[in-house]
């Protein structure tokens, strides 16, 4: 006789006395029958004295009591787990391994700092070979939920202040551009004021309120930058001699619920037809595309970051020359050459050259010369005299699609500016080579005669004297080039900022908020992956050479407001290409010193992930030198609810198809680059015989089928991501029902495909895992535990009463099972009822 659901006792650890009472109650009700219970707040100290657990549905999970756990090494174990004749032996063996791995990995200072408030569940499942495997799920909140948005807001405020100063440094502009500059400065000032207010409110968050935002607060104005229901979920599978970990980050779709979706999402707002844009008064003389504006941000960010690095390395080179340290001089020169080459590469961009020409055309002096030229040829055929309109704008500034040309402007001047930087570096390299040869000859003569005296640090240093003027020249050339490039890129961004100012603060604010939500999720995923793979040399090599795949799985429909959410999410995920990760050494093992930090500006952010000293020293030299690690964000979306049925029947799903096809191409490109750079890299293995090439082919074919609610696309994309050492993120509107249904289905499928879960028990295990989450008071698997004390958690879904658990996979609503004819009839009847109500 099974214990009724209503009589199960939720356990909260670490409280040994509560565990004792709960287990006593359980065994008094059914001592010799299979029960349904799981450990919440798993504490290894408790498991050494009490039963590990657990519930069973027809043999899936079994209740047993373990008197005391003995530590054993499963890797060296020679006994067969099915032949010992002592069922308790296998329980103890599995639990020992679980206890050890949990203590080593999940209880490390890094994990405790970044992932907090863990909630654990443990299950025991039977495999095809009638053996047992232990499955442990752990969900955690993260303080990054609020700490990263606060850092981002500070970066935005600093950047906008710099933009205002850079705009003022552009000098005199024509009346048209002067009006635009004033509007943009007012736009940035308003953003700064708004962001400072938001930052003040976020700084007031403390305790659990600072690590979690429930779906009930998704429209809160001051919480726009915080992701909804962000959790990290880890499934650990322990079998004899093997242990595997599967991580996934669940989060509400990065989107701006506060502003709403009346006019669509970011993708629609940012990609208005060019004809509409060019008709705006902003584009009277020049038109820069959104890609050019993005490129301008990248160049501006690059030269801004590189200039102080080059200056510092130049000073270090002079110091090494003063000490006559040839080895140190050579090492510093190598770094200086690398940074200077990066600078030259950025300066050579054609956008810089064309923007300098456009800036020249925007000067009042150019307009006066142009006016004089028109007046000189006033007797020409078809000429109209120069005049100004009511806005004070010169009518000579005609709209055109390409940049204007002017014969008096020397277009080769900029080429000489950036070429001077390269030539200055070459002069330094040549001088160091000559000095090195002289030093070598001197050492040869010294070794032969044994009478010559080597130069001491007290002697005048010929190295320093020869290098000093060359280094000064390099600095001057870099400063001149950076000043001009900064002015040119600021002018490019002036047009884009003027467009945003004409649209109001909505677009900029929305994009910043959506990016913040996406960044929090991907940083949590990166932290999970780097902590798990810190000793995995092939993975670290892949990370350095190619970067990391971040695969977002979306479950949004292409109907109603969720179209706007998907448009927001597409842009937010795409903007993650602008970030890079850098691993640093933590100052201490205090939680505050182990939290990732973000710096930079909209053109490019850098996220530093600190590791404790002992762990940091295990990394390869490239990572310890501060090498930037790239992220390759991908988004695959398949709508699976009843709204998607309406969209596919009567709407348009082209947005979803375009997103999936583009991500598939990016995934294939990443894999091709990986195989090209690291042909001998060993990727994670799988029990299935399918290679990554086979999976990519299947994904391509699945996308071409145009099948409705084709969830196979999600499974194939997730499988490829895991095989490529990527990070997985799953999202729906609020990361509750659809997200949890997807995660539990993925987990049980992994148990079946990779760990030979008994196929007959698959559906029962799936229902068991989902039902337990519902029993804990979470609607359809939302893991966020109810906590007393209010804050952002007050009023969350965990406070509501549970509803009926869906029985199978992705379809929680019975309406999806009706035929298309009944669905049409239902729509017609609904319309008749509505019309009757209006009458």
**What tokens appear for 661 in the block?**
């096809």
For residues 26 and 37, the answer to whether their CB atoms sit within 8 Å is yes
How far out from the chain centre does Cα 645 lie? 30
Unique residue bearing structure tokens 């040829």: 377
Q: Which helix (H) or strand (E) holds 141?
A: strand 132-141
Q: Which two tokens stand for residue 633?
A: 């964000």
User: What are 598's strand-pairing partners?
Assistant: 607
- 817's enclosing H/E stretch is none
- Beta carbons within 10 angstroms of residue 398's beta carbon: 9
Query: Distance (Å, rounded) from C-alpha 309 to C-alpha 763?
Result: 58
Q: Cis peptide leading into 683, omega within 30 of 0?
A: no
Q: Which of 239, 732, 782, 796 is catalytic?
A: 732
* Beta bridge pairs of residue 637: 554
Question: Is the distance from CB of 240 to CB of 93 less than 8 angstroms?
Answer: yes
* Pairwise CA distance, residues 689 & 768, whole Å: 29
DSSP assignment of 378-393 equals: TTSTT-----B-TTS-
Residue pair 710/638 in contact by the 8 Å Cβ criterion: yes
| Pairwise CA distance, residues 554 & 552, whole Å | 6
Q: Is residue 495 within 8 Å of 286, Cβ to Cβ?
A: yes
Q: Name all contacts of 649-655 with Cβ < 8 Å and 24+ positions apart.
A: 649/820, 649/823, 651/558, 651/559, 652/558, 653/558, 655/267, 655/558, 655/563, 655/566, 655/567, 655/570
Total residue length of the chain = 839
φ/ψ (deg, to 5) at 475: -60, -45
Residue of 251, 250, 236 whose CA lies nearest to 750: 236
Buried b (16+ CB within 10 A) or exposed e, 691-704: ebeebbebbeebbe
Q: d(Cα 742, Cα 731) in Å, to the nearest integer?
A: 9
SS3 call for 550: strand
Distance CA 62, CA 53 (A): 7
What are the structure tokens assigned to 172, written together?
């005199």
- Taking CA atoms, 132 is separated from 124, 126, 435, 755, in Å, by 7, 5, 71, 10
- Please report the beta strands in 711-769, taking only residues with DSSP state E, as ranges in sequence order: 727-731
Q: Is 782 a catalytic residue?
A: no
DSSP 53: -
Check residue 48 and report its DSSP letter: T
Q: Partners of 635 in the beta sheet?
A: 552
Distance in angstroms (rounded) separating the CA atoms of residues 98 and 47: 11
Q: What residues contact 29, with CB distance under 8 A and at least 6 apart?
A: 3, 7, 35
Count of CB atoms situated within 10 Å of the CB of 332: 21
Catalytic residue numbers, as ranges: 732
């Amino acid at each position: 006789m099974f214990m009724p659901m209503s009589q199960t006792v939720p356990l909260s650890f670490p409280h040994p006395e509560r565990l004792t009472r709960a287990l006593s109650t359980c065994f008094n009700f059914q001592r010799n029958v299979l029960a349904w219970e799981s450990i919440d707040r798993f504490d290894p100290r408790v498991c050494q004295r009490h039963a590990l657990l657990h519930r069973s549905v027809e043999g899936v999970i079994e209740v047993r009591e373990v008197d005391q756990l003995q530590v054993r090494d499963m890797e060296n174990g020679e006994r067969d787990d099915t032949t010992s004749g002592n069922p308790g032996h296998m329980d103890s063996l599995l639990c020992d391994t679980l206890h050890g791995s949990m203590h080593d990995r999940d209880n490390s200072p890094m994990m405790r700092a970044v992932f907090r408030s863990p909630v654990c569940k443990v299950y025991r499942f039977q495999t095809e070979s009638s053996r047992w495997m232990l499955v442990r799920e752990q969900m955690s909140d993260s303080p990054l939920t609020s700490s990263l948005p606060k850092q981002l807001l500070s970066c935005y405020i600093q950047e906008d202040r710099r933009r205002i100063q850079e705009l003022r440094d552009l000098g005199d502009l024509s009346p048209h551009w002067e009006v635009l500059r004033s509007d943009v400065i007012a736009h940035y000032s308003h953003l700064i004021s708004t962001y400072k207010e938001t930052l003040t409110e976020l700084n007031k968050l403390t305790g659990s309120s600072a690590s979690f935002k429930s779906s009930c607060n998704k429209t809160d104005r001051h919480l726009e930058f915080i992701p909804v229901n962000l959790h990290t979920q880890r499934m650990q599978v322990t079998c004899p001699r093997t242990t595997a970990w599967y991580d996934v980050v669940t989060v509400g779709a990065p989107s701006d619920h506060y502003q709403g979706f009346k006019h669509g999402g970011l993708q629609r707002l940012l990609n208005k037809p060019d004809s509409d844009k060019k008709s705006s008064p902003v584009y009277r003389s020049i038109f820069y595309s959104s890609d050019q504006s993005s490129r301008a941000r990248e160049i501006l960010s690059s030269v801004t970051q590189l200039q102080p690095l080059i200056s510092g390395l130049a000073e270090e080179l002079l110091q090494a020359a003063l000490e006559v340290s040839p080895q140190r001089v050579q090492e510093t020169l190598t770094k200086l050459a690398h940074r200077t080459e990066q600078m030259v590469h950025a300066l050579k961009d054609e956008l810089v050259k064309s923007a300098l020409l456009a800036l020249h055309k925007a000067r009042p002096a150019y307009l006066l010369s142009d006016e004089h030229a028109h007046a000189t040829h006033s007797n020409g055929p078809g000429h109209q005299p120069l005049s100004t309109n009511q806005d004070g704008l010169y009518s000579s500034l005609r709209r055109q699609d390409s940049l204007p040309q002017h014969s008096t402007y020397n277009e080769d001047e900029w080429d000489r500016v950036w070429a001077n930087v390269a030539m200055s570096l070459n002069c330094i390299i040549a001088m160091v080579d000559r000095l090195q040869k002289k030093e070598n000859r001197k050492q040869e003569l010294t070794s032969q005669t044994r009478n010559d005296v080597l130069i001491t640090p007290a002697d005048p240093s010929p190295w320093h004297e020869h290098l000093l003027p060359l280094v000064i020249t390099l600095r001057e050339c870099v400063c001149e080039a950076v000043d001009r490039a900064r002015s040119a890129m600021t002018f490019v961004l002036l047009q884009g900022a003027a467009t945003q100012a004409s649209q109001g603060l909505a677009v900029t604010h929305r994009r910043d908020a959506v990016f913040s939500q996406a960044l929090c999720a991907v940083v949590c995923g990166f932290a999970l992956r780097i902590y798990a793979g810190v000793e995995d040399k092939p993975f670290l090599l892949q990370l350095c050479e190619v970067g990391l795949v971040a695969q977002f799985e979306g479950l949004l429909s292409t109907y109603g407001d969720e179209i706007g959410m998907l448009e927001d999410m597409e842009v937010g995920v795409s903007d993650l290409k602008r970030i890079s990760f850098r691993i640093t050494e933590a100052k201490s093992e205090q939680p505050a010193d182990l939290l990732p930090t973000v710096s930079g500006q909209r053109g490019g952010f850098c996220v530093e992930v600190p590791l404790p000293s002992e762990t940091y020293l295990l990394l390869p030299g490239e990572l310890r030198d501060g090498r930037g690690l790239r992220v390759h964000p991908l988004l695959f979306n398949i709508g699976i609810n009843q709204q998607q049925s309406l969209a596919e029947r009567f709407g348009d799903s082209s947005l979803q198809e375009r997103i999936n096809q583009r991500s598939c191409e990016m995934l294939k490109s990443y894999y091709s680059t990986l195989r090209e750079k690291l042909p001998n890299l060993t990727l994670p293995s799988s029990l299935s015989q399918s290679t990554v090439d086979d999976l990519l082919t299947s994904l391509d074919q699945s996308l071409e089928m145009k099948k409705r609610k084709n969830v196979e696309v999600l499974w194939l994309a997730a499988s490829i991501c895991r095989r490529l050492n990527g990070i997985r993120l799953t999202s729906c509107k609020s990361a509750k029902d659809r997200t949890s249904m997807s995660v539990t289905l993925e987990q049980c499928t992994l148990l079946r495909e990779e760990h030979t879960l008994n196929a007959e028990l698959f559906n029962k295990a799936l229902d068991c895992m989902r039902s337990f989450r519902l029993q804990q008071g979470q609607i359809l698997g939302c893991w966020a535990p109810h906590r007393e004390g209010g804050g952002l958690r007050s009023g969350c879904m965990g406070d509501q009463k549970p509803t009926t658990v869906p029985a199978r996979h992705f379809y929680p609503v019975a309406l999806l099972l009706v035929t298309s004819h009944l669905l049409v009839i239902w729509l017609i009847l609904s319309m008749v009822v509505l019309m009757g109500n209006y009458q």
